[in-house]
Amino acid sequence: MRHSYRCPLRWSDMDAFGHVNNAVYLRYLEEARIDFLAGVARRAAPEAFTGGTVVARHEIDYLRPLVHQPDPVVVELWVTKLSAASVTFAYEVKDTEGAAGPYVRASTVVVPYDFDEQYPRRLTAAERSFLEGYFDDSQHG
């Protein structure tokens, strides 16, 4: 199963070349992750990820340029790897109809974090169970 997040663009997402800047896509991924971890996850498991998470790594491939448009893009997000204290998400950013192929493919290693203790922590059983529902190791394609 994939989580699908409709992410509205802002005109200011474009840089002086008139394209959505490469750094801005990390904001789209962030919005999709927050919707997933603070919204979807907590409706499934109320205590999930309440202490916060930190990003340990991103990989991101830019496949074709995106110009500001009134319609949102869709960020599809799923889980490609689960370890004791981290989860790896994959994403595709595409148009709502999606016919033309993604603008971006990316992955992020996220570490659950205890901001009070300023320390990474293990995934709980409830978090792991929730994330397994979105597991798909086929990556992209």
* Contact set with a copy of itself (CB under 8 A): 8, 10-12, 14-18, 21-24, 26-27, 30-31, 34-35, 39, 52, 54-62, 65, 68, 70, 115
Q: How far is the CB of 79 from a copy of itself (least distance, A)?
A: 19
**Minimum CB distance to a copy of itself smaller for 68 or for 129:** 68
Q: How far is the CB of 50 from a copy of itself (least distance, A)?
A: 14
Give 13's DSSP letter: G
Give the closest residue to 85 by CA, choosing from 120, 118, 117: 120
d(CA 84, CA 128): 9
**Minimum CB distance to a copy of itself smaller for 22 or for 139:** 22
**Minimum CB distance to a copy of itself smaller for 34 or for 132:** 34
Strand ranges inside the chain, DSSP E? 3-7, 53-62, 73-83, 86-95, 104-114, 119-120
